[in-house]
Structure 1
């Protein structure tokens, strides 16, 4: 399958000519090892032999507020469980796991509670409008209040953000913007039920960069029925920008959605996207994000991610942490959102230069 359709877009000037991405897309368990080694060595040469784990569930964190029922970095939905798109993989079910705050006053109150209970920040998200954007502009003043009075780290999941909203979020002090980048027009129509194209996602990234907010794009592996469809093209789109970090996540079939019976993407397919992300953007931090299947799937995916030399993993399996240690990696832990990897790496480099 040398002419893999997902890889046709990748034969452009942005890619290293020595890398055969068609071969990567079709690599079996044996061939993938060569790419994992290539990715790992490239990562270690740029970032050192280290990895950062985010909010690992198996480690006993020292929480100054032991009676708190809130995680240190919770997710908030400004639309509650409502979403105009009803995407095939979500149907608003994922929004039900978030803390609802549907008015600016409610948002401030929720953030005050997070601060009081020892939290360090939050992800502000929500359902999308028919145009594919999360309605955040009306919450800009509330976000500004939270930033200036509470000092929380605020990351925003925006969808197809426009220039004006991006400027408002910048003025409010948002620390980073997260956007799921879709690289297939067919996926946009059939899965997201959105009248848009990949160009709209490209424009959203441009809006964030023009506003001066750190951009942390996400690539959701297997979003089109568990198969690779536009993930490589999404990475190619991202490579034309200047992201602060790249987060790779994987489809979790959710009960009550049109994809509840879909088989999630194979761990090796997730690894292929992690490898491609590293090879396309060698100086950009790459993280395996929190949204991915659990149990054996997670263990396999996490261990492949370690072998690919990712810079961070959110909620890693115990087996992955043990593998990292056995490979001699320097490990560190954080209760923050994994999107803040670029901040952590910058701080680690600064601390290293300041050490006697």
Structure 2
């Protein structure tokens, strides 16, 4: 009776083990996932299990079968696939992108079925940019840049403007799975450098940058006289009038006095020992031959005679009451 009980217990235990295995307690664990093209990948069973026979398949395609220490590899995997006849572990050598899929192992001794997915990715190489044109006009042109690779699979794209990420907006479009960047109605701030970063789970690469030449202006003009904000100077002064304009390419600058052009071009107008006849409006005219736009700015310069001694004394007398009033107002709070 005791032997019968032990045998019954052994049979029940074996059935329990087989039931656990069949229920999915055994898992398939890839040695690498995702894998890179050319890698070797081993699919092992966990926990380790002794299998007397079984088969491996991916999708509907059989890879190999084994019985005892004998294995048969199907022709499409000849030389690349092998199985450990004790543990059932499958090894695939020189994997390709086509080897991605769900791998299923089945065995009848003991009875089990388990699976795992592996992904094989091609590494990225030679990231390059292609653009429609690099010479653009502000508010009138659109920039289109396409990012491509010589090799690589399951690609993700990230665009950079210098060290800042480029994101989609009203003027910025990212299309073709983010591989194409379009900037509509470019501005002077869209010059770049733009670069493209491409990555997948096994590799990454960055393109060389591309810059745009954007013609704009002239605008935001400014005039200064002797580097000062004042425009009133005494007779006999030497004056340097400086004109600036935001423009690309640099604007052509021409000067005018009282509406008449003078024989001076460039950002500086120099006047020496000026007399009262040099009082009046001075204009700087800017023209950009690329944008065919122009702009101008005018300042009024007053040339005055220095005050005589009696005039200066009269001014001082007039200012004295004002100065006393200011001093009184300053001291008043302290007396209260």
TM-score (norm 2): 0.16
Choose between structure 1 and 2 for higher RCO, CA contacts under 8 A separated by at least 6 residues. 1
The structure carrying a bigger helix percent of its residues is 1
Give the greater-gyration-radius structure (CA).
2
The structure carrying a bigger strand percent of its residues is 2
TM-score (norm 1): 0.15
